[in-house]
């Protein structure tokens, strides 16, 4: 039995934070001027990441009190409970052990009398052997040709992680291998992603933790039909059932916790990779769900990716809150959400390869912490779950940064950059990555320190437009830097945000590992499907708005 959540609003730390906020006047210019050590004392290391928190709206007293808040809600004990396999996913009665997926081979973790590490490595070894076969050409399609395209079919955690990592680690991929990702049940997704593919050299990975997800199973059936129809159309295979079975066996593998359902679908269980119910979908890219990535970058690089996660796990588990980067970032987010009333949080990677990272984080953070009840079923006692969003810089600068700089909302932002780009280029004398990084440094500086009316006037600006050109500053940012975007650094970044999310969930007392909020829409979609097909009884059961919308569809469909 996991212990009851502590109501954070009853702690003395919360009381102090409330008082501190009542008298709070952010003054990053003043704070930096009066404390020459501010940057140094608020910059921390975590594995290969260097994290500068100094441009946040934080005084030493606020920082100290946030740390006390972490202690008073039992964060260190909850961290230990997660890592040791306690069933902290209360509403699903499960352990939460994504951290076990990246334990080294010689580690051991007894959970309820069973060491899970050998299981994890046995499954990883299967994935690695499969990856090696595809990469070497030993794995052949039904007509004897090697695989050139791997298509992952999955959605949510069975898609967002693999897509994001594929995009981020493109420089490490094997030449001649491409991955595509089908997720949406909008039929245009399958149509577009199979367009131009050669079925003889295409391998599908059907990735679904439950193997019940409507989108994924529908798309898998569509992909199977596409494969068989195209192979038959070119006479690559005949029309017999055994030819179809051989084609499916050579062109389909699956990843799931429900291997019985994989077999029902017609995929050979020998071509299926498993994982465990203690891995949440949005925490699963480091399990066999990452099989497409293991194929693309190879087992060695995939192992480096896992070691990056593990390095951040160790940091989170063993570092006191005072220097614990995920804990500090999570507590800072609590300060912004609950005291400064921030409603959103931007993540702005200055690394084009990380262009899907904000989308990935949306599921991680919002499916985890978008909750109104606590893990004991009682209502939350304060706001939870800010909206995470973002796009890579510098693109965002030319789109939405206006609002971050001069809008009326407070939007804490994480800026992420790497020192060495995977593809350095020069433009004449200029190192283009330096131009890029200059923007990274400039933006956080502008957001923190702004530009006063006097400074605007001193530039000769006409008085009438001085107010429009003033930058208030005091817009909080965290700067995260790493030497390069290696597989390990990417693993560290993902684990960093997993643990930030966990920290916030603990303060708010919520189960960050269930996702009941996705169920009602799924259930209603099933019920509404006959109405959309024109069933008048089903249509009559709908509320007036929904009925009118479906009638519009029925009137205009061709």
Q: What's the CA gap between 343 and 56, in Å, rounded?
A: 16
At CA 19, angle to CA 14 and CA 20, rounded to 5? Answer: 95
Of 435, 518, 525, 548, the one binding ligand F6P by CB under 6 A: 518
Active site residue 522: yes
Asked if 208 touches ligand F6P (CB under 6 A), the answer is yes
| Min separation Cβ 204 and ligand F6P, Å | 15
Q: What CA–CA distances, in Å, run from 190 to 187, 216, 248, 370?
A: 6, 11, 17, 30
* Sign of the alpha-carbon torsion through 382, 388, 393, 396: negative
Binding of residue 202 to ligand F6P (CB under 6 A): no
State the number of binding residues for ligand F6P (CB under 6 A).
14
Q: Kindly state the smallest distance separating residue 489's Cβ from ligand F6P, in Å.
A: 24
Q: Is 398 a catalytic residue?
A: yes
Check binding of 512 to ligand F6P (CB under 6 A): no
Q: How far is the CB of 517 from ligand F6P (least distance, A)?
A: 9
Q: Using only C-alpha atoms, what is the Rg of the chain?
A: 26
Does 155 sit near ligand F6P (CB under 6 A)?
yes
In this structure, the number of other CB atoms found within 10 A of the CB of residue 509 comes to 23
Q: Choose the catalytic residue: 112, 239, 398, 555.
A: 398
Instruction: Find the binder of ligand F6P among 43, 72, 184, 210 (CB under 6 A).
Output: 210
Q: How far is the CB of 291 from ligand F6P (least distance, A)?
A: 13
Which of 158/501 has CB closer to ligand F6P? 158
**477 makes contact with ligand F6P (CB under 6 A):** no
Among 99, 183, 338, 515, the residue binding ligand F6P under the rule CB under 6 A is 515
- Cβ(201)–Cβ(146) below 8 Å: yes
Assign residue 353 a region: left if phi > 0, alpha if psi is -120 to 50, beta otherwise? Answer: alpha
CA distance 554 to 550: 6
Q: Which two tokens stand for residue 359?
A: 């989308």
Dist. CA 162–CA 183, nearest whole Å = 11
Q: Which of residues 301-360 bind ligand F6P (CB under 6 A)?
A: none
**Phi, psi angles (nearest 5°) of residue 302:** -65, -40
> Is 213 a binder of ligand F6P (CB under 6 A)?
yes
Whether 369 and 510 have beta carbons less than 8 Å apart is answered as yes
Q: Kindly tell me which residue out of 162, 281, 385, 390 binds ligand F6P, with binding defined by CB under 6 A.
A: 281
Question: Packing angle between helix 75-83 and helix 60-72, nearest 10 degrees?
Answer: 50
Q: Is there binding between residue 524 and ligand F6P (CB under 6 A)?
A: no
157 part of the interface to ligand F6P, by CB under 6 A: yes
Minimum CB–partner distance for residue 216 and ligand F6P (Å): 5
User: Which residues contact ligand F6P by CB under 6 A?
Assistant: 155-158, 208-210, 213, 216, 281-282, 367, 515, 518
Active site residue ranges: 367, 398, 522
């Amino acid at each position: 039995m996991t212990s009851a959540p502590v109501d954070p609003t009853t702690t003395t730390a919360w009381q102090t934070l409330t008082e501190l906020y009542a008298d709070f006047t952010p003054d990053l210019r003043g704070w930096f001027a009066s404390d020459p050590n501010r940057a140094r004392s608020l910059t921390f290391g975590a594995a290969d990441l260097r994290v500068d928190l100094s441009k946040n709206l934080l005084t030493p007293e606020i920082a100290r009190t946030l740390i006390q808040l972490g202690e008073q809600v039992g964060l260190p004990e909850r961290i230990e409970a997660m890592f040791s396999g306690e069933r902290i996913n209360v509403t699903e009665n499960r352990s939460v052990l994504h951290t076990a997926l990246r334990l080294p081979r010689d580690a051991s973790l007894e959970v309820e009398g069973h060491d899970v590490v050998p299981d994890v490595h046995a499954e990883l070894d299967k994935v690695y052997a499969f990856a090696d076969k595809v990469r070497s050409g030993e794995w052949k399609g039904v007509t004897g040709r090697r695989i050139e395209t791997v298509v992952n079919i999955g959605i949510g955690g069975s898609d967002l992680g693999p897509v994001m990592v594929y995009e981020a680690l493109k420089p490490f991929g094997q030449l001649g291998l491409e991955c595509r990702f089908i997720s949406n049940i909008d039929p245009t997704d399958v149509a577009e992603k199979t367009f131009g593919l050669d079925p003889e050299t295409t391998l599908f990975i059907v990735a679904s933790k439950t193997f019940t997800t409507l989108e994924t199973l529908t798309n898998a059936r569509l992909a199977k039909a596409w494969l068989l129809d195209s192979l038959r159309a070119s006479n690559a295979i005949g029309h017999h059932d055994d030819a179809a079975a051989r084609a499916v066996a050579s062109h389909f593998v699956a990843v799931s916790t429900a291997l019985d359902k994989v077999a029902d679908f017609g995929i050979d269980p020998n071509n299926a990779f498993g994982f465990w119910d203690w891995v949440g979908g949005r925490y699963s890219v480091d399990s066999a769900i990452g099989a497409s990535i293991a194929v693309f970058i190879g087992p060695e690089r995939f192992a480096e990716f896992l070691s990056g996660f593990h390095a951040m796990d160790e940091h989170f588990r063993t570092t006191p809150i005072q220097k614990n980067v995920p804990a500090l970032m999570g507590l800072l987010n609590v300060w912004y959400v609950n005291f400064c009333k921030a409603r959103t949080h931007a993540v702005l990677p200055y690394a084009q390869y990380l262009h899907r990272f904000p989308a990935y984080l949306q599921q991680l953070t919002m499916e985890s912490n978008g909750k109104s009840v606590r893990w004991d079923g009682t209502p939350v006692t304060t706001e939870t779950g800010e909206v995470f969003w973002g796009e890579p810089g510098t693109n965002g600068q030319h789109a939405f940064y206006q609002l971050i700089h001069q809008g009326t909302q407070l939007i804490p932002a994480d800026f992420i950059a790497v020192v060495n780009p995977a593809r350095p280029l020069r433009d004449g004398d200029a190192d283009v990555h330096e131009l890029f990084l200059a923007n990274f440094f400039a933006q956080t500086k502008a957001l923190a320190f702004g530009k006063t009316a006097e400074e605007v006037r001193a530039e000769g600006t006409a008085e009438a437009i001085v107010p429009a050109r003033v930058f208030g500053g005091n817009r909080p940012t965290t700067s995260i830097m790493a030497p390069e975007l290696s597989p390990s650094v990417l693993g560290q970044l993902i684990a960093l945000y997993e643990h930030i999310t966990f920290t916030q969930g603990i303060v708010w007392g919520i189960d960050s590992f269930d996702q009941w909020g996705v169920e009602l829409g799924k259930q209603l979609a099933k019920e509404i499907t006959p109405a959309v097909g024109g069933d008048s009884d089903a249509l009559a059961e709908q509320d007036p708005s929904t009925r009118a919308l479906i009638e519009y569809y029925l009137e205009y469909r061709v």
